[in-house]
Structure 1
Amino acid sequence: MAEIPKVQTVALVREIGGPVEFPTDYPVPTPGNNEVLAKILYTGVCLSDLHTKDAVAAGPDGIPITRFKLPHIGGHEGVGRIVGLGPGCGSDLSLGTLVGIRFASRVCRRCEYCLAGTEQYCLKGTNHLHHEDGSFQEYIALDADYLTILPDDVDPKVMAPVLCAGITAYKGVLGANIRAGHWLAVIGAGGGLGHMAVQYAKVLGAQVIGIDAPDKRDFVLGLGATEFVDFVNTDPVQRVREITGLGAHSAVVTAGSTKAFSHACEMLRTGGTLSCVGMPPGTAKFETPICAIVIKALKIVGSVVGSMSELMEAVELTRRGLVRPQIQVRPFKDLPHVYEEMEKGTLKGRIVLEVSSS
């Protein structure tokens, strides 16, 4: 194992809304009690990283999130290898083990949510998006008791997006309550989250209607979608009703657009389920009339990432080749350009940054 340096290159944001800088003298963390040090190989880029950097994300009460670490290192879908063990680590951990860097960084393991296997809602939990340095750096310290240990036979650059986009999409599809043969509409089907939701839904037996801009038609159909709806040149609600007759059984919204959620409700048949995954920036509100929800007996569920158990299910589906993240690998320092493309909405699939090749 190579000697661990004292300093490293990181993607640093010094102030809210500030530019991304790449200092080369940021300290490499020393793993504390029951922590491991991992060298990051690849990391995906999530829209929530951009929103957090620019302080346009909102908490559950609609108040913008401002209580996060500054200077800020984002990134929460990374893959790396253990290069150091802190005191107290168990004998089951060894150098060279492939590990994931997830949204959730630490949980209490004692509260009602943790005990129920829904630890992503732990009120004492911390995450790599707001509270701790994330995967936009060469080395990272991770909690050994909440460590995502990955199979050693996976491709780390392909697996990286599963750590956030994958588990988020998978959890959203599970929340849609689909059965084999059901019609499921995925809004934002060509994006980083959506293209994985299409595939997870297919694995679970759904007939998928992918909805996105016209230039993503071939991409979405190539993922296995049964139908594609162009929301720019057609009325997506009318088209979904034409395809399904009564309307879709379920819809998963992965787009960060308020209008998309209203359209999704209108696409649903009576008794349908809307699974909310994408988060519009700021304090966007639901536009669907309450009477429509009541009369159609709609079920609306929110979904944010997933538990460790659900993550490993998503990992296994990718490991077996049933779900294939569509990625573009870019150099680490392309992060500012990736953010610009995200703002324009031009990306297909997921961007993965190469932090280190070995």
Structure 2
Amino acid sequence: MEPMIISHLQLLLAEAQSSPRLLRHNVTSLISKCDSLRRMLSTIATGPQSQQNCALSEVPLEIAEYIFAWLHPAEALKFRRLAKAFNNLLVSQEFATLLLSRFLPKDNLSSKRHHDECAKIFFAWPSTYQKRFATSHLSASCSRKSLLWSHKATPFETNHIPQGSLFAMFPNLVELDLSYCALSGTIPDTLFTNMRQLQSLKLHENRLTGEISAAIAACTQLRVLNLHSNHFSGKIPESLYTLSELQYCNLGHNRLQGVLSPKISCLQKLNALYLNDNHLEGEIPKSMAELEGLEYLVLSCNRFVGRVPTELLNLRRAVYFNFEGNGFDAESNV
């Protein structure tokens, strides 16, 4: 594959010296066979020593635009490594606008599949693509308000959730799923303060550290919070108990410490609470029995002591409660 496409390009480059118009004609003809060209270009872009050995580095930018303009935005970006000039072209605001406008026509409902594909790799893009995509396709007028991507793909080159103003692009986002992405580091406060319409936040099965920020209180519409299987430490922030819309909360399999606040009774819409496999201690507050809609409660493998409130055990909607692996009194009622 690679020798074939390089031979094509070397021939075209030789012809360009005598007739630029002929070169443009031949490249256009070659691009018409886009499936085979995509495979050949991909072989070069992902092959070893591509920058040093690839004749593409000599292609004029005018011709490079012909070659890359028809690619999926996600595919085009992998050719940045072929040459510095290609990188400058591919990450430019003008080229980002060109690719996204061609691939994602704003009023074309049939592009939903492509839209979903782009949303899945949003954070892997340079900022020029992020801004263009967020402005045109994740705006207030856009019916799509979820940002998800493959659980097998790491969205960030640094494996950290970006800091700064990036999340200000999503003031209307209601669902954010970064689970299973091998993320490390802390959650920036801006994730909460710039996305106040969030209803579902899933960051489970990563390697996130630090404390759960008190800034989470800014997400007053939050209904689903899933942070299980990370390395969060410190206490459960008091501000979490102000999330009156919260229905599902999973903080299990972390390193959380401290006691469970009586203010948990403020979460009147809570349906499921998982705090298992942490280092929580003290007694289970009696006020938890005021959560009449609670169906699932898992507090296993902590350091709770005392007795489980009888009123809690008698909640009429209880489906599954688990208190194993704690230090409850021998005569406790569990």
> Is TM-score (shorter-chain normalized) higher than 0.5?
no
TM-score (norm 2): 0.25
Question: Which fold has the larger relative contact order, with Cα–Cα distance below 8 Å and residues 6 or more apart in sequence?
Answer: 1
TM-score (norm 1): 0.24
Structure number, greater radius of gyration: 2
Q: Which protein is richer in helix relative to its size? A: 2
